[in-house]
């Protein structure tokens, strides 16, 4: 009987140790992901495509706001460089997390809502500004931890259509 109690105690002890390690990891991983999102805002507002693309995976996939699908870090950076020099030149991005879920210790889904303002010549064709002159977007990113760094492996951006409710930035 005493051996059974010892085994139960030991099993609980081991499980608690594992749980503590996982939660500690998630806190640092959450912080790392939040820092990537902050860097997206800063780099967008600077018009810096290289910085904006820094965490995008070499073989990452993305769908832009117009529904165009592409693959690869190089094209992701090139497309952002192009839009930062044209339709999104001088715009300001605000972005807030709607959902951050770890679907595996090394895989997270991150959904944000964003507001882009400061358009000089109106929005890009096929999109609409709200009554405050902002383009409202929802961005879904899938991030994977490779060794110690988080990389964006999927980036899917859609504009929020007129009449669809969305929270205001805090």
Q: Give residue-wise pLDDT tens across range 74-112.
A: 999 999 999 999 999 999 999 999 999 999 999 999 999
Which pLDDT score is estimated for 25?
54
Domains of the chain as residue ranges with CATH: 2-159 (3.10.450.50)
pLDDT greater than 50 at residue 144:
yes
pTM over 0.85: no
List all residues 6 or more positions away from 49 whose beta carbon is below 8 Å from its beta carbon: 43, 77, 78, 80, 81, 84
Q: What percent of the chain shows pLDDT beyond 90?
A: 74
Q: In terms of pLDDT, which residue wins out, 10 or 4?
A: 4
Structure letter (DSSP) for residue 121: S
Structure tokens at 102: 């770890």
């Amino acid at each position: 009987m005493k051996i059974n109690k010892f085994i139960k105690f030991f099993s609980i002890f081991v499980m608690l140790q594992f749980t503590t390690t996982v939660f500690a990891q998630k806190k640092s991983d959450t912080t790392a992901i939040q820092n990537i999102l902050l860097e997206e805002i800063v780099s967008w507002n600077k018009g810096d495509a290289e910085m904006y693309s820094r965490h995008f995976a070499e073989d990452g996939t993305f769908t832009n706001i117009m529904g165009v699908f592409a693959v690869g870090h190089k094209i992701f950076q090139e497309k952002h460089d192009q839009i930062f020099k044209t339709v999104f030149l001088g715009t300001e991005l605000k972005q807030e997390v709607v959902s951050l879920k770890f679907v595996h210790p090394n895989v997270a889904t991150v959904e944000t809502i964003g507001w882009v303002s400061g358009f000089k010549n109106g929005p890009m064709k096929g999109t609409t500004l709200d009554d405050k002159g902002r383009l409202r977007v929802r961005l879904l990113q899938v991030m994977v931890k490779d060794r110690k760094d988080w990389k964006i492996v999927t980036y899917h951006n859609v504009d929020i259509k007129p009449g669809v409710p969305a929270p205001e930035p805090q």
